């Protein structure tokens, strides 16, 4: 395999999570009687450009199907994050009725509806039917296509170049990151701005966040590597913010390379911190497998001990990261009878691989579990607030990553 960005040969394995089904391929009851597709989940690091990337196996159309079940608006904390961003960027860029905002990976319209409400013309790019239809129902214009250079050029010619292009948690999801970035360049107005948010590789390594690795995430990104990818497309990173979302993310601000705006000092600061943390040294990546296996082993021991003590452990959050953890650990219903989730699109279905049933949160009051395992640890505070009632029967909240701990 060659690096998706610089095309160097990939030799260094960062992490091998064996085989797993796509993490968002939730199953209907009828699917349980059919074969299930598993793909290798192996991640390499490029020693030339330091792009961390999954091995090529699954195709995008197999991962982002019409019944794609992830709806961003289910999380109240994520909605609040999106609202704060919209208010900030409208002020920062002086956006108004003459502007055009394009969001790539618009999902269910959770973000663009703030721009619609402000009277700012916008367009969402979203290839998955279910989420796109939900966005349109809220008045958000949607184009159902995968984004790349060809679409970027078409948008610029058929409509007009964008003042702002947004990509929140989409950059890691694209198999051809060079083509995607060339599309950003083609669709961006001179003097326009790109903002991308993505989990920061430095935090993933620091906190052993291996469960954020799954087939839909083709890339795991540092600021250094994103600067290289942008430069190759004739773009530049002019500012960066560190965010707490998803266990530690970056929000980068991009522009055309000849843009007159000066780079923020934060760009040099984050690049220096990444270098200090060893993100351009192979030894930093070589110990991650052993750390991951310790987390997995401790998690399994905990579940087995709870079962032997006769304590009921159930999970909350049918999240992709939870599926990575459960499938790598080999957890089935005997150790985790069910998982609750607030998303109606997931309720009544089964987790891929483990086949653990997904129930509505009301099941917690009926069964009164002793332990509620929060799989999406990045929104643990939100989950605990919504389900604080389990403390009425001395129920406990637990997370397994980056280490097993009671909340």
CA dist., res. 339 & res. 388, Å (int):
17
Query: Vertex 115, ends 111 and 120: CA angle to 5°?
Result: 155
CA dist., res. 378 & res. 383, Å (int):
10
For the cut 80, the answer to whether the pLDDT of residue 396 exceeds it is yes
Contacts of 228 (CB under 8 A, 6+ apart): 5, 6, 49
Mean pLDDT value across the chain: 93
For the cut 70, the answer to whether the pLDDT of residue 334 exceeds it is yes
pLDDT, tens digit, 9 for 90 and up, residues 135-184? 898 889 999 999 999 999 999 999 889 999 999 999 999 999 999 999 99
For the cut 80, the answer to whether the pLDDT of residue 210 exceeds it is yes
How many of the other CB atoms lie within 10 Å of CB of 283?
A: 7
Q: Can you read off the two tokens belonging to residue 21?
A: 């089904």
For the cut 90, the answer to whether the pLDDT of residue 85 exceeds it is yes
pLDDT, tens digit, 9 for 90 and up, residues 190-199? 999 999 999 9
Q: Which part of the chain has CATH 3.40.50.150?
A: 72-285
pLDDT, tens digit, 9 for 90 and up, residues 337-391? 999 999 898 999 999 999 999 999 999 999 999 999 999 999 999 999 999 999 9
pLDDT band at 57 (very low <50, low <70, confident <90, very high): low
The answer to whether the pTM exceeds 0.85 is yes
Tell me which of 145 and 59 has the higher pLDDT: 145
Per-residue H/E/C for the chain:
CECCCCCCECCEEEEEEEEECCCCCCECHHHHHCCCCCEEEEEEECCCCCCEEECCCCCHHHHCCCCCCCCHHHCHHHHHHHHHHHHHHHHHHCCCCCCCEEEECCCCCCCHHHHHHCCCCEEEECCCHHHHHHHHHCCCCEECCCCCHHHHHHHHHHCCCEEEEEEECCHHHCCCHHHHHHHHHHHEEEEEEEEEEEEEHHHHHHCCCHHHCCCCCCEEECHHHHHHHHHHCCEEEEEEEEECHHHCEEEEEEEECCCCCCCCHHHHHHHHHHHHCCCCCHHHHHCHHHHHHHHHHHHHHHHHHHHHCCCCEEEECCCHHHHHHHHHHCCCCCCCCCEECCCCCCCCCECCCCCCEEECCCHHHHHCCCEEEECCHHHHHHHHHHCHHHHHHCCEEEECCCCCEEC
Q: Which CATH class is domain 304-406?
A: alpha beta
Closest CA to 259 of 355, 163, 146: 163
For the cut 60, the answer to whether the pLDDT of residue 200 exceeds it is yes
Which CATH code of 2.40.40.20, 3.40.50.150, 1.20.120.1200, 3.40.50.1360 fits the domain covering 72-285?
A: 3.40.50.150
For CA atoms 54, 55, 60, 65, the dihedral sign is negative
For the cut 80, the answer to whether the pLDDT of residue 58 exceeds it is no
Q: What pLDDT is stored for residue 73 in this prediction?
A: 55
Q: What pLDDT is stored for residue 305 in this prediction?
A: 98
Q: What pLDDT is stored for residue 71 in this prediction?
A: 52
pLDDT, tens digit, 9 for 90 and up, residues 12-45? 999 999 999 999 899 999 999 999 999 999 999 9
Q: What pLDDT is stored for residue 69 in this prediction?
A: 46
Cβ–Cβ under 8 Å, residues 378 and 77: no
ω before 402 within 30° of 0 (cis)? Answer: yes
Q: What pLDDT is stored for residue 135 in this prediction?
A: 85
């Amino acid at each position: 395999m060659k690096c998706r960005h610089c095309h160097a040969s990939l030799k260094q394995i960062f992490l091998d999570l064996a085989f797993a089904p796509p993490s968002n391929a939730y199953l209907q009851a009828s699917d349980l009687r059919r074969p299930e597709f598993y793909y290798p989940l192996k991640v390499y690091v490029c020693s030339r450009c330091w792009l961390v990337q999954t091995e090529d196996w699954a195709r995008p159309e197999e991962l982002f199907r019409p019944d794609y079940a992830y709806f961003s608006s289910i999380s109240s904390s994520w909605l609040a994050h999106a609202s704060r961003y919209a208010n900030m960027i409208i002020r920062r860029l002086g956006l108004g009725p003459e502007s055009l905002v394009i969001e790539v990976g618009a999902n269910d319209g959770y973000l663009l509806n703030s721009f619609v409400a402000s009277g700012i013309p916008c367009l969402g790019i979203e290839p998955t039917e279910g989420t796109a239809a939900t966005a349109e129902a809220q008045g958000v214009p949607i184009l159902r296509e995968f984004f790349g250079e060809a679409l970027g050029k078409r948008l610029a010619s058929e409509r007009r170049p964008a003042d702002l292009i947004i990509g929140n948690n989409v950059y890691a999801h694209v198999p051809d990151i060079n083509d995607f970035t060339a599309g950003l360049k083609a669709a961006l107005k001179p003097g326009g701005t790109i903002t991308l948010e993505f989990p920061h590789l430095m935090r993933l390594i620091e906190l052993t966040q291996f469960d954020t690795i799954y087939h839909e995430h083709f890339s795991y990104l540092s600021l250094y590597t994103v600067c290289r990818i942008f430069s190759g497309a004739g773009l530049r990173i002019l500012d960066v913010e560190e965010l707490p979302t998803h266990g530690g993310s970056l929000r980068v601000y991009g522009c055309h390379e000849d843009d007159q705006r000066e780079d923020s000092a934060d760009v040099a600061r984050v690049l220096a911190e990444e270098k200090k943390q060893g993100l351009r040294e192979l030894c930093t990546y070589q110990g991650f497998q052993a750390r991951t296996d310790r987390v997995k082993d401790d998690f399994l021991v905990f579940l087995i001990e709870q079962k032997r003590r006769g304590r009921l452990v159930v999970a909350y959050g049918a999240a992709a990261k939870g599926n990575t953890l459960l499938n790598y650990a080999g957890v089935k219903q005997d150790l985790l009878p069910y998982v609750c989730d607030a998303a109606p699109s997931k309720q009544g279905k089964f987790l891929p691989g483990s086949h653990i049933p997904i129930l509505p949160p009301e099941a917690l009051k009926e069964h009164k579990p002793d332990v509620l395992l929060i799989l999406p640890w990045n929104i643990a505070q939100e989950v605990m607030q919504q389900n604080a009632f389990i403390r009425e029967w001395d129920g406990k909240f637990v997370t397994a990553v980056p280490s097993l701990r009671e909340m």
